Amino acid sequence: MDKSVSLRVVAAPRAAEFDVILAADDGPGATASLGPLPDRDALRSVFDRNADEADRRAAGDSLHRALFREGVAEGWNALRQHATPDDPMRAVLTIEPPELRSLPWELLWHQGTWLWRDSAVLLRRGLVGEARKVDPEFGPRRVLVIVATPADDEQLLAEQELAVLSGLLEELPGRAHVEVLDCPQSPVELCEAIEELKPHVLHFIGHGMPRPGDGGAELAFSSPGGHEWRLTADEVPHLSEWRPGLVVLNACRTAAADPADWVGGIAHAFLDAGTRAVVSMQADIESPVAVVFAESFYTFLIDGHPVDRCVNATRQALGRLPEKTGAWALPVLLTRSEPDAVLPRILPNPEGAGADAMLRHKQYVDLRRFVGRVEERRKAWWALDDPRDPDVTTRKPVLVISGQSQSEQEKTGKTWLANWCLGTWFLRGHHVISVDLAEKLVVPGHGSRPSPRNKDWLAVLRMIRQEATSAERLCSLPKDAFGDFNSELNRLAAGGPGVVEGVPHAEEDEWLSFNDDVGHADERKSAIMDAFVQTLRRAAGGRPLVLALDHADTVMGESLSRELYEGLIRPIAYGRAEPLRLVIVAPDKTVRLIIPDRDSHMIGRVQVGDFKQSQLMRLARIYSHRLGCKPDAMTMRILDGISKQPAEHFDVNFFQVMTPYVTQWKDAAKAQEFG
């Protein structure tokens, strides 16, 4: 249908009266006077605890009879009759008189139907949409969640909502990157977080209230230490230079504020400041309802649906709740652009692949249980590929991911972090090669060699080639991409010259060991390394190619610090091997041995360690959601007892270790494995 309709309520030339103007993008319009309305305070009270469904239907029927009269009703019915859920009509309701804006228009009721829950008519409030769309870009969606008040009670809305958001949005890398700012101490701290991440979506969890004195809207912030401050509607335009495309105010009373104030509402303030769409609440929202709202809304949003369809689907989900409180009508969607132009369209990678492509590979499927590490994820991802300014040339194309456990544990989550980054880079259009150097090298016809703990530089090159051409990997190069290199390797390893022009040469590796006893050994090694790097550069075809070497500590130290460093790491670090990028994953002690001080300024570094004990309950909820369950009372008692242990940190394998011993987790993990 692709039809857009606008309904505008405006002040009429006649004193104390209003007109309704209907306009369609391809049809005649109509104008009628707004019909009589019941007492406005009574209309606004339909979400109070003592109101029931009959009260809301009566209010919705009164609003419908007032809005749709005479020619407006006839024109609306004619336009609506051709709309279907598969081909819906879009309609924007603009309420210009400020005294009418806080009425519950979302309750429009007619002939047994709630109009705002009709999937054939996607209704929203706001302005007639701007035609200009934002440019498409690679993912992930960047989401900044602001928790305005401390969570003293572990059952508070914020913690449940965060578990839902992370579980939905971050189950696979590349879909969304979610960061949480807890209890910002000032507008400056809030501004810095927005400017640093430049989020597509700003999600606020907290409380909105009328400002004492003039009744204008404000958002309330407080810290665990008791410090309080307010963000008023007047301050919103000056909060930051960056304008998120979508702001979600999952807080009570933010849409209402002072009904007589045109710009007093926080939602309108964000819209007037340049945000393309705002979702806010027009009455108090209970915690369970807020969680259902977040789960439904973001499920549709992350799948790429326009924001009006996301809200419509969320209304239907809320309407199916057993408690008939009218919660489905609480969300207010305000837009200043077309709903499909609120957020940039996420591009597939050059092969047309999306996040589903990673579901065929265990190293990425396992990431659904990778929780936390938000800051480290961003630092590692942006070290090689900063999405905020993609035109800037990478300054440090070599990244080292190292780890040091505060509790002397062997594992710190380095591999998980590297795999998460690889998945993200893949979806952002990079060719990724993942090499686990702890695995054995397979020699055709001879099984595997050598043992995992003594690989030399040549074995490393062969392992890279093996993984780069494997059809079992997320990205694969053709085997003949290494044909010329194999010929160079065969001659130079044996002690002869490189490939001679015009002389036939083999394209298969003869698997010779490097002969150090023949002259010019260093020059031959250098030539082999250079041939290997040039092979990768040609195979990349101008597209960024990320090579990740996990468990680099399984390589002989001399090979790492000499041949591999001088022939592979250093050329990439100094930009002499574009478009190659390199990720080295190893313990701190290994990294210190291979990176000389003279080059440390050219290498990006991200270090991971244990989790802070204070994070345990939040991460446990997120982990539960990743398993597909909400922690029950027994699980919460177990975790609460552990969280109160006198320790500063817990190790990154805690959740995996505990899963077999927490019945709910064990059952959920088994169901997920065989589901």
pLDDT in tens, 52-100: 999 999 999 999 999 999 999 999 999 998 899 999 999 999 999 988 9
Of the two residues 471 and 16, the one the predictor is more confident about is: 471
* 224, 145: one domain: yes
Give the pLDDT confidence of 311-321 residue by residue, as tens digits.
Answer: 999 999 999 99
Is there a single domain that holds both residue 323 and residue 374? no
Cβ pair 284, 326 in contact under 8 A: no
State yes or no: pLDDT of 16 exceeds 90. no
Q: How confident is the model at residue 20 (pLDDT cuts 50, 70, 90)?
A: very high
Q: Could you report the per-residue pLDDT of 186-206, keeping only the tens digit for each?
A: 999 999 999 999 999 999 988
Total structural domains within the chain: 4
The CA angle 479-480-486, to the nearest 5 degrees, is 95
Average pLDDT over residues 537-551: 96
How many angstroms separate the CA atoms of 358 and 160, rounded?
A: 28
- For residue 488, being part of any structural domain is answered with no
| b/e sequence 394-416, b meaning 16+ C-beta within 10 Å | bebbbbbbbbebeeebeebbbbb
DSSP character for 31?
E
- The reply to whether 527 falls in a domain is no
The answer as to whether 529 is a domain residue is: no
pLDDT of residue 238: 93
523 is a domain residue = no
Q: What is the mean pLDDT of residues 494-503?
A: 66
**Taking all residues of the chain, what is their mean pLDDT, rounded to a whole number?**
89
- 207 lies in some domain: yes
pLDDT of the residue at 184? 94
Cis preceding linkage at 504, omega within 30: no
Residues 173 and 295 grouped into a single domain: yes
Q: Where is the domain boundary, 66, 99, 130?
A: 130
Query: Looking at residue 349, what is its pLDDT?
Result: 84
- pLDDT of res. 253: 52
Alpha helices in 578-653 (DSSP H): 588-594, 616-627, 633-643
What would the two tokens of residue 556 be?
Answer: 């002989």
Q: What is the CATH number of the domain that holds 296?
A: 3.40.50.1460
Residues 102, 79, single domain; the answer is yes
Range 635-660 average pLDDT: 93
Question: Which parts of 179-286 fold into alpha helices (H)?
Answer: 187-197, 266-273
CA distance 253 to 270: 15
Residues 43, 108 within the same domain:
yes
Q: Are 177 and 386 a contacting pair, CB within 8 Å?
A: no
> Is residue 578 domain-shared with residue 631, that is, in the same domain?
no
Stretch 235-262: mean pLDDT: 74
Shared domain for 373 and 453, answered yes or no, is yes
In this structure, the answer to whether residues 377 and 400 fall within a common structural domain is yes
CA 451, CA 448: separation in Å to the nearest integer? 8
What does the pLDDT average to over 283-301? 89
The CA-based diameter of the chain, rounded to the nearest angstrom, is 103
Residue range of the domain that includes 99:
3-130
Within this chain, do residues 450 and 367 fall inside the same structural domain, yes or no? yes
Domain endpoint, select from 292, 311, 341: 341
Structure tokens at 663: 């019945």
pLDDT at res. 506: 60
179, β-bridge pairs: 144
Asked if residue 288 and residue 177 are part of one domain, the reply reads yes
Preceding peptide of 140 cis, ω within 30°: yes
Q: Which of 564, 579, 608 corresponds to the end of one domain? A: 608
Four-residue CA torsion sign, 591, 594, 596, 601:
negative
Indicate whether 482 belongs to any domain.
no
Helix, strand or coil for residue 436? strand
Strands (E), 331-397: 331-337
- Chain segment 596-637, per-residue pLDDT in tens: 989 999 999 999 999 999 999 999 999 999 999 989 999 999
C-alpha distances in Å from residue 661, one per residue of 626, 641, 667, 669, 670: 17, 14, 10, 12, 13
For range 264-289, the mean pLDDT: 86
Whether 578 is in a domain gets the answer yes
Residue type, 110: H
Please check whether residues 162 and 37 belong to one and the same domain: no
Which is higher by pLDDT, 171 or 613?
Answer: 613
Amino acid in position 40: R
User: Is 594 contained in some domain?
Assistant: yes
Residue 445 CB contacts under 8 Å (≥ 6 apart), including other chains: none
At residue 518, the pLDDT reads 84
Tokens 């001080």, located at residue: 597
Write out pLDDT tens, residues 424-456. 999 999 999 999 999 989 888 765 555 556 899
The model's confidence at residue 308, banded by pLDDT at 50, 70 and 90, is very high
Do 284 and 165 sit in the same domain of this protein? yes
- 331 pLDDT band, cuts 50/70/90, is very high
Q: What pLDDT is attached to residue 170?
A: 86
